[in-house]
Structure 1
């Protein structure tokens, strides 16, 4: 499943997809919350999730994949990229990246790039 594809779907399709997956009480939820619930359920079933974006590296050494949908501004849909991945692959701000992501853990706010 691809995060970018879900972002491009209308809310009605997302609610229908959530219903097919057995997720309830999402009819009045925000689009971001519906997408998050769908991806979380998808990840629990052991299937891969993919995301993409343009890398912005912050001064602290980590970065985020930003999307064109939000004019490359910070937002809840951003994907975290660790400093070790940035160093290992010699990544720079402006690089277009796609890869496997995981859902946020308990104390995290963003999806994270795995591979």
Structure 2
């Protein structure tokens, strides 16, 4: 892979939440995604994270096994996920929704439930 490939973009929004948007064609495996998440976590440890995976078409989401990714085990109330409703199985959609619900209960994620609802219904 070339060194100038962009794997994700970062933005810190007005609520001091880091929004990570993944770039589809360069995410090549579960391990690659985990490595990117670990980098983001290490650099932005003090911020809650929103992971926007809506642009990733090439991954088989069932293979990612989101519940086994360490970042979610260690920081279950600091990470939220935006996804396309029809891009993953109901099993994984339910798992992501449970992560998002726990995030919406902490103050830094207040007001984001509308974004999650919009993502699930669009």
TM-score under structure 1 normalisation? 0.29
Q: Rg: which structure is higher?
A: 1
TM-score under structure 2 normalisation? 0.28
